[in-house]
Amino acid sequence: MAAHEQSNGSAETTPFAVPEIKYTKLFINGEFVNSIEGRTFETVDPRTEEVIAKVAEGDKEDVDVAVRAARQAFDHGPWPRMPGSQRSRIMVRFAELVEQHVEELAALDCVDAGKLFVWGKLVDIPSGVGMLRYYAGAADKVHGEVLKSSRSLHAYTLKEPIGVVGHIIPWNFPTAMFFMKVAPALAAGCTMVVKPAEQTPLSALFYADLAKQAGIPDGVINVITGFGHTAGAAICSHMDVDMVCFTGSTEVGRLVMQAAAMSNLKPVSLELGGKSPVIIFDDADIDKAAELALNGILYNKGEICVAGSRVYVQEGIYDEFEKKLVEKAKIRKLGDPFDPNTQQGPQVDKKQFEKILSYIDIGLKEGATLLTGGKSWGSKGYYIEPTVFVNVREDMEITRDEIFGPVMSLMKFKTIEEAIQRANTTKYGLAAGIVTNNLNVANRVSRSIRAGIVWINCYFAFDPDFPYGGYKMSGFGRDLGLDALHKYLQVKTVVTPLHDSPWL
């Protein structure tokens, strides 16, 4: 434990206070209600391992009620029929209300997910606001086009909202993922049922209340808290849900797709796992490259699907890079995420904490060498030291599997061809990073890597304008950008003859 600095509010001291928990019931048709069976589940503070709230546990019957509300709002309510400019004004008001509660919302994600409070306040919540405003700006710009025809026909397309959407939200970014799904669907004119992860239900319920205050009609946004195998499965298999958008593991993504196919053949959008490579060439600034690589695996304590968990460093700078990386990892400040000095908070829950530690054990048994870290940290809470493995092979589980924690595999390469080949040796294809000052190298590698987003001399550079999604087993469909708006729209072609014709 001496290898890592403790912040003033660390796991060894009294943690900062838990904020007031206002909303713990299901949100259906504009009202907070108990689940039909009256069951609840506990949400736990990962800093202290203590229960912070009991939340309503929605099940299939609750999903049925929520879907009926969303269907009524879509088929007969004003939201899909409203001029886009009017939806836009309401979404802007929603964004303003979120801004007014930024500290309270950041605190909820802090105690629910172990996220850094400062980052929540300055990055996560503002990014959600930015997405709302971005898609509010697009709501009145949805339109079709007039089509060219080889016959005497007039034809045009209409862009119409797809209908009732089921959103299944992961636990690692409760706010960003909520708005990444909800904002473009709102702009398109859809209604929806949102299921936040059972580990992090609190902020989604708060956002539902703010949406109502902003003027979003009842039934447009419904939030069902509960478990994936019950509430989530009911959404995926529901015959009156028109589309499902899921972010989570590849294993669960398969189940989502299967349920959608076996029900009403609803379309799905899947953003799944990743095992993203970061390739560092020998012309890079070693100190900056080491900082970038470390942030690439430790940001949000490694609980991010685009984490740069496989780092390849060209042999000319490898030894010095390794030294710099270890130095930086050892001074990483772990502690209470409310403390502004803390750089890394706790993993989201006990299950994830134990999974990460089990993978560290697997890596050691497979013959990899632990360069730094590898242990839990503190006397309570789900903290894990920044961990770097070397002497790693591509066939090891720690190199193949998505660990979803602060665990890096560090490897050496010689040539560009080798780097490209090894980077693509994965079933995933979500993201990649390239660090080089050579434009030709950057162009060649970025065009050769099979991944949905490639960052050159940066990492985690997201923007509402940038489409984001996966290749291969990292899923399909795109979040962010106008691509996300379009996936919530149906294209309808309307054809009229230009003159009377008996054969038309």
Number of helical (H) and strand (E) elements in the chain, helices listed first: 16, 24
Contact between 417 and 261 (Cβ < 8 Å): no
Terminal CA-CA length for the chain: 80
- For residue 466, the SS3 value is coil
Instruction: Write the CA distances from 408 to 63, 94, 232, 298, 444, integer angstroms.
Output: 39, 39, 31, 9, 25
Query: Helix 102-113 crosses helix 125-138 at what angle (to 10 degrees)?
Result: 120
Specify burial of residue 101 (Cβ count, 10 A radius: 0-12, 13-18, 19+).
middle
Strand pairing report for 153-161 and 489-497: antiparallel
Q: Which residue has the tokens 């946004």?
A: 221
397 in catalytic set: no
Candidate list 31, 96, 160, 271, residue with the active-site label: 271
Q: Rounded to an integer, what distance in angstroms lies between the CA atom of residue 370 and that of residue 86?
A: 57
Taken as a whole, the chain contains a residue count of 504
Strand pairing report for 31-33 and 489-497: unpaired
φ, ψ (nearest 5 deg) of residue 482 = -70, -20
Strand pairing report for 31-33 and 26-28: antiparallel
Q: 3-state DSSP helix/strand/coil percent for the chain, to nearest 5?
A: 40, 20, 40
Contact between 218 and 29 (Cβ < 8 Å): yes
Q: Rounded to an integer, what distance in angstroms lies between the CA atom of residue 274 and that of residue 289?
A: 21
Q: Which residues are catalytic?
A: 271
